[in-house]
A and B are shown apart, each in its own frame.
Chain A
Amino acid sequence: MKSQYSFLTKAPIIEAVLEIKTTPIPVWEENLITGKIKSQFSTGYTFESENIFQHTMQFQPTLFASENKSVMEWNGLRLTSEDKTEIVKVNRDSYVYSRLQPYPGWENFKEKALAGWNDYRAIAGKQNIKRIGIRFINKIEFVNDELSELFVSSPRTVGEIDKSISGYFQQNVYSFNKGEYGASHIQTIQASDINNQNPSFILDIDVYTSEVLPLEEKDLNNNLEQIRMFKNDIFFGAIKEKLLERLK
């Protein structure tokens, strides 16, 4: 496996995500946690509460007298940066950091994601980490008949009667290091819209590990570097030289 890959000045990343799942925070009360989050993640974010609905049925002793009611339960907070390029989700058992376009590079992404994680940990206490994952969504515009020149695995028609492809979805699920790490590699096509003349090829890679013990910061960093290497192995393995040159 390569440890160095070509640097891409035009990396087609439209979203990069770090997600860390933990054992649940013992006390999860809206006012208390919201206050802590607002003081911990102090500047540059807008805060939005997220709720889940529970629909319940009230059964009465009489045959027809029943009543439905909806109960809203607080699920956590969603934080959005002023320029709307960064989203943080804080839930009882997970921390998510998402960076939208423009992608600032791995080191910057990792630094900000881990800074937020440290803020989360200050609120959560020393919860055990259950799962660490990163997700990188890449979007590459293409013109007709070009896909097989850009990607190692691309959609193709079968049979002899003339036809065109109007939809495509492929998912490979990989296992690394005897199951210690897993990955999902999705390829799909997104139709053109008003802003894009051409359709786009979506290359969506997420890599994760559930084999996680309580970690020190150094271990988390090493783990992320390992996960990143698997992610790069899939990305650079999925594209052909022609696309690589285009992205450099």
Chain B
Amino acid sequence: MNYTVPMNSSLAYQLRPGLAGFSREAVFVASEKQSLAGRLMETVTFGERDRAILSRLFSVISQTANEGWDGYGALPVSVKTYIKTMEFLCVLPGTVKLPEMSADPDGSLSMEWYRSPEWIVSISIDGNGKLDYAAIFGDRKYHGSMYFADEIDKEVLNHIGRV
């Protein structure tokens, strides 16, 4: 038997919702998954990281949910942006440290992995899943833009892993 367990195979990640479904049985499977994920979240071993993600996100959201939260007319962070960012953080490998988080005036959420001013990765996501990133590693600079859907682009993941 071959095992190819990916880095992001946290139990809560594996129990994330799958493809859509509308039958009673699809709802039943989703609720069983949710119940299992909830039980794992309650534990210290499996739930600590997910709770830390929620806590960091909520801390930013609670301060940026209203228009003009920066005193200069910044757009509020929407539920869609919150959900997209949470999805991104949940598929991040468990071995990667969690980023510092902040909101941008255009209503997107920013995540930053920082080692020094010359060694830094910054990613922002909006409610449509549009992901912009910039990375600095000494004299090398990278940046790009893409749409995030369920999986993190390998190049972006490599950058984060270097910090």
Chain A residues whose C-beta falls within 8 Å of the C-beta of B106 in the assembled complex: none
Q: Determine whether B128 belongs to the interface, using a CB cutoff of 8 Å to chain A.
A: yes
A-B contact pairs, 16 of them (CB 8 A): A24-B130, A54-B79, A56-B66, A92-B128, A98-B20, A128-B147, A135-B19, A135-B20, A137-B23, A137-B29, A169-B33, A169-B36, A173-B14, A175-B4, A190-B28, A204-B25
In the complex, are the beta carbons of A137 and B26 less than 8 A apart?
yes
* Complex Cα spacing A200 to B150, Å: 31
Q: Determine whether B138 belongs to the interface, using a CB cutoff of 8 Å to chain A.
A: no
B109 to chain A, nearest CB (A): 14
B residues neighboring A (CB under 8 Å) = 4, 6, 9, 14-15, 18-23, 25-26, 28-29, 32-33, 36, 62, 65-66, 76, 78-80, 128-130, 147, 149-151
In the complex, are the beta carbons of A202 and B21 less than 8 A apart?
no
* Complex Cα spacing A131 to B149, Å: 8
In the complex, are the beta carbons of A15 and B29 less than 8 A apart?
no
Q: How many chain A residues have a CB neighbour from B under 8 Å?
A: 46
Residue from B23, B65, B66 whose CB has the most chain A CB atoms within 10 Å? B23
* Complex Cα spacing A202 to B33, Å: 13
* Complex Cα spacing A19 to B21, Å: 10
In the complex, are the beta carbons of A204 and B29 less than 8 A apart?
yes
Would you list the 6 A-B pairs with minimal beta carbon distance, nearest first? A130-B149, A135-B19, A15-B23, A24-B128, A54-B79, A56-B65
* Complex Cα spacing A133 to B25, Å: 18
Which of chain A's residues has its CB closest to B4's CB?
A175
Chain B residues whose C-beta falls within 8 Å of the C-beta of A137 in the assembled complex: 21, 23, 25-26, 29
Q: Count of A-B contacts with CB under 8 A?
A: 100
* Complex Cα spacing A204 to B17, Å: 13
In the complex, are the beta carbons of A21 and B21 less than 8 A apart?
no
A residues neighboring B (CB under 8 Å) = 14-15, 17, 19, 21, 23-24, 52-54, 56-59, 73, 87, 89, 92-93, 96, 98, 100-101, 128, 130-131, 133-135, 137, 139, 169, 171, 173, 175, 179, 184, 186, 188, 190, 200, 202, 204, 206, 208, 210
In the complex, are the beta carbons of A19 and B20 less than 8 A apart?
yes
Q: Knowing that A98-B21, A202-B25, A204-B26 are A-B contacts, what are 17 other residue pairs whose CB atoms are under 8 Å apart, sorted by A's residue number?
A: A15-B21, A19-B19, A23-B147, A24-B128, A54-B78, A56-B66, A73-B79, A93-B129, A100-B22, A128-B147, A131-B150, A135-B20, A139-B25, A169-B32, A169-B33, A173-B14, A206-B19
In the complex, are the beta carbons of A202 and B150 less than 8 A apart?
no
In the complex, are the beta carbons of B14 and A87 less than 8 A apart?
no
Which of chain B's residues has its CB closest to A78's CB?
B22
* Complex Cα spacing A66 to B130, Å: 32
Chain A residues whose C-beta falls within 8 Å of the C-beta of B28 in the assembled complex: 188, 190, 202
Chain B residues whose C-beta falls within 8 Å of the C-beta of A19 in the assembled complex: 19-20
Which of chain B's residues has its CB closest to A18's CB?
B19
